[in-house]
Amino acid sequence: MSKNAPIGAFDSGVGGLSILLEVRRLLPAENLIYLADSAHCPYGIKPVEEIRQRSLEVTDFLISQRVKLVVVACNSACVAGLDQVRAKFRNVPVVGVEPAIKPAHELTRNGKIGVLATNLTLNGERFSILVEKYATGVEVYTQPGPGLVEIVESGAIETPETERLLRQYLQPLLDKGIDTLVLGCTHYPFLIPVARKICGPGVTILDTGLAVAKQTARVLKLANLMTERTAPGQETFYTSGDPTAVADVVRKLWGDPQIQVKKANV
């Protein structure tokens, strides 16, 4: 495998960009390939078997683009199929994501943690294992957030409708007295400005972007796969959906009006 090959990442849509932005900051010389599986978005309300199958197909697409590592930048896909992806593609390192329960356990002062995630993630065995393992002695309150992924996909983030829906989901957690909020879906970090406004300064909001970027760097180093190039790396964006519509949102979230998005037949 070539050190100068790109890193691949995917999500049901643009949410995984919250992870990839951190990878870009930490590893500026790496080339990156991102696939938004927009034709099948959202993942979080679909049957586990369907998302497992998509995760395998989309990883196969990234590997056909000769990536040296795959980041499954989606909590729902990790719950549904991370083990299967690792088992099937043994020659490529695979980095997954999970809700930041462990850091939340370390940070909470009053022992009350809220987790906002998709239904698929909250109902998955991976999540119960995570809570059992790391949330000893604290209360964990969970809340699914249907509709939030679609808001991020539309790119219309700071609107009264977003605030209304997010408040509807966060208020029950705030009523429980949480002082730490875990964002267990990679789309949600794009809603942090609105969530901050709702939660106020007393609640710490956690996402996993930086931790996943650091893990990606660690895995590359261990496998001796860090790029040797020093020039800024490039990004290539693909979608299984409509490239024109997806490009509008990717440009906004990535902060680069020049971005082009290609169609992936996957």
Residues in contact with ligand DGL by the rule CB under 6 A: 11-12, 15, 41-44, 74-76, 118, 121, 149, 185-187
Taking the least distance from each CB to ligand DGL, the nearer of 12 and 143 is 12
Taking the least distance from each CB to ligand DGL, the nearer of 6 and 13 is 13
- 41, 74, 78, 199: the catalytic one is 74
Residue whose beta carbon is closest to ligand DGL: 44
Q: How far apart are CA 207 and CA 57, in angstroms?
A: 27
Q: Is 74 a catalytic residue?
A: yes
Taking the least distance from each CB to ligand DGL, the nearer of 68 and 187 is 187
Q: How far apart are CA 244 and CA 79, in angstroms?
A: 30
- Minimum distance from residue 166 beta carbon to ligand DGL (Å): 15
Q: What torsion, rounded to 10 degrees, do the Cα atoms 153, 156, 157, 162 define? A: -100
Taking the least distance from each CB to ligand DGL, the nearer of 7 and 17 is 17
Q: Is 78 a catalytic residue?
A: no
- 41, 78, 185, 199: the catalytic one is 185
- Minimum distance from residue 215 beta carbon to ligand DGL (Å): 16
- Minimum distance from residue 186 beta carbon to ligand DGL (Å): 4
- The CA–CA distances, whole Å, from 210 to 17, 153, 206, 266 equal 12, 22, 10, 29
**Alpha-helical runs (H) found in 89-242:** 101-107, 119-123, 125-134, 148-154, 160-175, 192-199, 209-222
By DSSP bridging, strand 261-263 and strand 204-206 are unpaired
Sign for the pseudo-dihedral over CA of 207, 75, 239, 23: positive
Catalytic residue annotation:
74, 185
